[in-house]
Amino acid sequence: MTSNSNVSNMRRLVEQLKLEASVERIKVSQAAAELQQFCLQNASKDALLVGVPTGSNPFREPRSCTVV
């Protein structure tokens, strides 16, 4: 049996879809170019990507004792 809550749920859905449809969008080519640019600009700082000078990554240092 149809209830008022079904109708109000549907109204909410329709309003939500209208909101989502009104979003301003850019072309994938432009979005992709900007994602790529961000990667390339920050690549040198990305330790997991390019590695870091030996000794400066605390997890890569061997945990051995030094003889004093």
Partner 1 sequence: MRSPLIPEMATQEVQLNETLVHLKTESETLKSKLEEERAKLHDVELHQVAEKVDGLGQFVMKTRRTLKGHGNKVLCMDWCKDKRRIVSSSQDGKVIVWDAFTTNKEHAVTMPCTWVMACAYAPSGCAVACGGLDNKCSVYPLSLDKNENLAAKKKSVAMHTNYLSACSFTNSDMQILTSSGDGTCALWDVESGQLLQSFHGHAADVLCLDLAPSETGNTFVSGGCDKKANVWDMRSGQCIQSFETHESDINSVRYYPSGDAFASGSDDATCRLYDLRADREVAIYSKDSIIFGVSSVDFSLSGRLLFAGYNDYTINVWDVLKGTRVSILFGHENRVSTLRVSPDGTSFCTGSWDHTLRIWA
Enumerate binding residues for partner 1 (CB under 8 A).
1-4, 6-7, 10-11, 13-14, 16-21, 23, 25-36, 38-43, 45-49, 52, 57-60
In the complex, minimum distance from the CB of residue 65 to partner 1, in angstroms, rounded to a whole number: 13
Phi, psi of 18, rounded to the nearest 5 degrees: -65, -40
In this complex, which beta carbon is closest to partner 1, that of residue 19 or of residue 65? 19
Do 47 and 41 touch, CB atoms closer than 8 A? no
Do 43 and 50 touch, CB atoms closer than 8 A? yes
In this complex, which beta carbon is closest to partner 1, that of residue 41 or of residue 64? 41
